[in-house]
Homo-oligomer: A and B are copies of this chain.
Amino acid sequence: MRTERETMFRHVVLLAWTPDATDEQKAAVLTALGTLPGAIPQIRSYAFGADAGVSPGNHDLAIVADFDDAEDYAVYRDHPVHQAVIAERIKPILASRAAVQFEV
């Protein structure tokens, strides 16, 4: 579904943290994610945030990232700065992950 502009390739990922994840670890993920738009020029739009806590059973963090096309998404996916955030900040506290990519 197109909403505002030309076709984009949107990556949506929802993450849930382990019960023993600390507030510091969760905050470090947000800080690290905030560095990605400056490091990966293929990112056209990047929104993320911790769950607002209004719905029981939710995951804990959402990322919505827009790219020009699937190729630019793949650059982001495999980018070493992104991979470092995953390995160093996300994986140590990751309990569950759900993702979809779709054209908007």
Contacts and interface: CB of A to CB of B under 8 A. Distances in A.
Interface of A: 1, 3-4, 9-10, 12, 14, 16, 34, 45-52, 54-55, 57-62, 64, 70, 73-74, 96, 98-104
Contact of A62 (B52, B57, B74, B102): B102
Query: What is the oligomeric copy number?
Result: 2
In order of increasing CB-CB distance, the 4 nearest A-B pairs are A49-B102, A62-B100, A98-B98, A52-B101
Contacts of A100: 14, 49, 51, 58-62
12 contacts: A1-B47, A3-B46, A10-B47, A12-B14, A16-B98, A49-B103, A51-B100, A51-B101, A51-B102, A52-B70, A57-B99, A64-B64
